[in-house]
Amino acid sequence: MSEHKLLAPLTTRRRAGRGVSPALRGERSILRGIGVTLLWMVVAISIAALVWMVAQAFRDTRAILDDPWGVPTSLDFGNFVRAWTVGDFAVATWNSLLTTVVSSVLTVAIAAPCSYYLSRVDNKLTQGLSLYFILGLGIPAQVILIPLFVMLNKVYLTDSIIGLNLVYIGVSMPFTVFLLTAFFRSLPLEMEEAAALDGTTAFGTFWRITLPLAKGGILTAFILQVISHWNETLLALTLLQSTEKYTLPVALISFVQQQTYSGADWGGLFAGLVIVVLPMLIIYVWLGRRLTEGLTLGMGK
């Protein structure tokens, strides 16, 4: 990407004068030029890397190793079929999908009323509760790993998708409650008050007024949970033992580890990576703005 291309839209924009004074159009120092060029290089490399990864998934291992820069000659789904069948990715994908959707839906469904209460009732108790929930944000997963395993083992919920779902819901509470509380606080109260004057019950105002208003925030919270549950590795690795219970990240790890014995099947591996990454890409392209907004708002604590 040359300087020319970069500067061209800038100048036109300045001329178009979108209410921005020339003072804001930064100085054109060399340092800055280098920075801009580097940045675009990073952007280009990132996109190229993603495209490259997807492309390699359609080539067989020998071709990949011979010429890692090559492009697939035909749309060959052999790698995916092999990953799907030999690498147990079919079952793992299904498990991941099920776990992600169920735990994310339940997380939001349980966190939303709680956040609503914490955002609308203001007393010592709710302040304490808010703090109690925020506390969890700082506890890393490895701390609860072993006790959780011991506890779940006692009630036969290790190596179980149900157990994993429960764990994900519990672990996601701090962040979701935190995010949604901030969101509910930002909603205006007038409509709820009007509804209350009209005789709606407290539950009714929540259900019929606030929830529909909060659709955006709730969707954001849901998507953020989908992403973190889809990618969660450490807890799943600890709590699941049998192959037919594996989620995708665990299956990927076991696939990688098999290869130290059976020789590297890079084709299958790339297919596996694509299966892990692609859903995230789709979500990002589809709902990206909502996502970054939610993250930057939620994290602005």
Q: Please, which of residues 112-151 interact with other proteins by CB under 8 A?
A: 113-114, 116-118, 120-123, 125, 129, 132-133, 135-151
- If binding means CB under 8 A, how many residues of this protein chain bind other proteins? 125
Q: What is the closest distance, in whole angstroms, from the C-beta atom of residue 60 to other proteins in the complex? A: 15
Q: What is the closest distance, in whole angstroms, from the C-beta atom of residue 273 to other proteins in the complex? A: 5
CA distance 211 to 213: 5
- Do 133 and 174 contact (CB within 8 A), yes or no? yes
* Residue (161 or 171) nearer to other proteins, CB: 171
Binding mask 164-183 for other proteins (x = CB under 8 A): --xx-xxx-xx--x---xxx
Q: Which of 3, 25, 51, 81 binds other proteins (CB under 8 A)?
A: 25
Q: What is the closest distance, in whole angstroms, from the C-beta atom of residue 81 to other proteins in the complex? A: 20
Q: What is the closest distance, in whole angstroms, from the C-beta atom of residue 98 to other proteins in the complex? A: 18
Q: What is the closest distance, in whole angstroms, from the C-beta atom of residue 63 to other proteins in the complex? A: 14
* Residue (94 or 117) nearer to other proteins, CB: 117
Question: 26 by DSSP, 3-state: which?
Answer: coil
CA distance 126 to 140: 24
Phi-psi category of residue 286: left, alpha or beta, with phi > 0 → left and psi -120 to 50 → alpha: alpha
Q: What is the closest distance, in whole angstroms, from the C-beta atom of residue 291 to other proteins in the complex? A: 8
Interaction residues for other proteins, span 186-225 (CB under 8 A): 186-194, 196, 201-203, 205-206, 213, 216-217
* Residue (193 or 244) nearer to other proteins, CB: 193
Binding mask 34-73 for other proteins (x = CB under 8 A): -xx--xx-xx--xx-xx--x-----------x--xx----
CA angle 15, 19, 24 (to 5 degrees): 80
Nearest CA-CA partner of 221 in 111, 102, 96, 97: 111
Q: Which long-range contacts (CB under 8 A, 24 or more apart) does 285-291 make?
A: 287/219, 287/223, 290/216, 290/219, 290/220, 290/223, 291/220, 291/223, 291/224, 291/227
Nearest CA-CA partner of 246 in 99, 131, 106: 99
Interaction residues for other proteins, span 222-281 (CB under 8 A): 227, 230-231, 233-234, 237-238, 249, 252-253, 256-257, 259-261, 264, 266, 269, 273, 276-277, 280-281
Q: What is the closest distance, in whole angstroms, from the C-beta atom of residue 13 to other proteins in the complex? A: 7
Nearest CA-CA partner of 93 in 277, 282, 299: 277
CA angle 112, 114, 117 (to 5 degrees): 110
* Residue (73 or 263) nearer to other proteins, CB: 263
CA angle 258, 261, 264 (to 5 degrees): 75
